[in-house]
Amino acid sequence: MYTISKAERQLKGEITLAGSKSISNRVLIIRALCETQFPIDKLANAKDTDLLQALLTSNDDVRDAGAAGTTFRFMTAYLSTQPGTQILTGTERMKQRPIGVLVSALSTLGAQITYLEKEGYPPLQIGPPVSFGANQRVQISAGTSSQYISALLMIAPTLPQGMELELVGHIVSRPYIEMTLALMAYFGIEHTWEGNLIRIAPQKYQARPFVVEADWSAASYYYAMAAFADELDLQLNGLFESSVQGDSVLAEFMQAFGVKTTFNQQGIHLSKTGGTLARQFDYDFLLCPDLAQTIAVVCGGVGITGRFTGLETLRIKETDRIAALENELAKVGVQVEAEPTEADAAEYFRFSGRAVVSKPAPEFATYEDHRMAMAFAPLAFFGPIKVHEPEVVVKSYPDFWRDLETLGFVVQK
């Protein structure tokens, strides 16, 4: 457990953010599917990325993805294209996270995948691609995790007939699908996307050097601190103005919380807008679900009522993130309530109340979820807080606590 505190309500300094985990993991899969290796500069230093890189170069018959959901999903599709038979497993929590939607789609394409324990869940036995790609057309729920869809798209050009992927229903997390397709296009893969049908013909990935942009999800924690600070002068290096990351929407909507973003050659500079804050912040997080936890904490910290929708995928992340937010925000006096809606209406959640960090220091659980640890850390602006299992940040941002110390936070380990 760490105790986090900050003596002054100012945020000044410079942080060079690590490469995006989302981009890094996709580019690693593309490189593994490419016939020629190519250099990747500024690859994420996240544990998930290191693990994926190790699994892609492993010759072991049993490969353990640990608690890394993206890694498990991408490896499921990748191993379906590889010779031999492998077992893909993970932590006990991973064995509780559904994989059936992806396995069903891969099986339709001809993959040989068997559940070794509970139907629809890891671990998996993945056989050789004897008839993989015999079928070209496959359907998948568009309301499921975009990582299932991205996993299928990346292997599509390597299949004998390519792939016609039909997204059934309302599409969630569309920017992550667009990110995948944009990265594939960088490496020479053409596609068409008409309505809910994505077509990718058989093609070969073309090797090209690649530079990974910094992670906008990681930037969100500094935006939260910026919203809480009385004095603000912060430079975040490595972010691109023309970003393939959906979370770059931060630069626009954080103005509602008094944070101004200025792009420069190194990345972005954060300063105060000087404007009056709104009383309520309404937002649909369907396109950027990974920001929801951070912005929920921001709303509580500045005392703005948040009214969120588009949180459908939050219950199947590293933890049930909605339940986790409800539990932990209650410790500082912020309420989370589901608003009653009509049968077919979107589900709304209301975050109300102003966070009060009192003594003794509130202790926040992290639920084996890196984003819970980092989303709640900015509350240290209002008084000392304690964070359980703080090392969980290694999943996506190993240097997080060290970087906080450079900005004047005291991290007692």
**Catalytic, out of 64, 215, 247, 290:** 290
Token code pair at residue 373: 């640890």
* Phi, psi dihedrals of residue 405, rounded to the nearest 5°: -65, -35
Confidence grade of residue 71 (pLDDT, cut at 50, 70, 90): very high
Per-residue pLDDT at 338: 85
Does the structure show a pLDDT above 80 at 54? yes
Catalytic residue list contains 403: no
Domains and CATH numbers, the chain: 2-19+214-412 (3.65.10.10), 21-211 (3.65.10.10)
Instruction: Note the pLDDT tens digit of each residue in 188-232.
Output: 999 999 999 999 999 999 999 999 999 999 999 999 999 999 999
Per-residue pLDDT at 175: 87
Token code pair at residue 71: 């890694």
259 - beta bridge partners? 272
Instruction: Note the pLDDT tens digit of each residue in 377-388.
Output: 999 999 999 999
Are 348 and 309 within 8 A, CB to CB? yes
Which whole number is the average pLDDT over 233-247? 94
Per-residue pLDDT at 289: 86
Confidence grade of residue 348 (pLDDT, cut at 50, 70, 90): confident
* Phi, psi dihedrals of residue 39, rounded to the nearest 5°: -75, 145
Does the structure show a pLDDT above 60 at 318? no
Confidence grade of residue 172 (pLDDT, cut at 50, 70, 90): confident
* Whole-number Å distance between alpha carbons of 141 and 136: 17
Does the structure show a pLDDT above 70 at 346? no
Token code pair at residue 270: 């954060």
- Around Cβ 293, how many Cβ atoms within 10 Å? 28
Does the structure show a pLDDT above 80 at 180? yes
Confidence grade of residue 258 (pLDDT, cut at 50, 70, 90): very high
Token code pair at residue 58: 């492993």
Instruction: Name residue, tokens 């057309």.
Output: 137
Does the structure show a pLDDT above 90 at 311? no
Confidence grade of residue 347 (pLDDT, cut at 50, 70, 90): confident
Task: Calculate the average pLDDT of the chain.
Answer: 94
Task: Answer positive or negative: Cα dihedral of 316, 320, 326, 328.
Answer: negative
Q: Which of 230-234, 239-243, 392-396 has the highest mean pLDDT?
A: 230-234
For residue 278, what is the DSSP state? P
Per-residue pLDDT at 271: 98
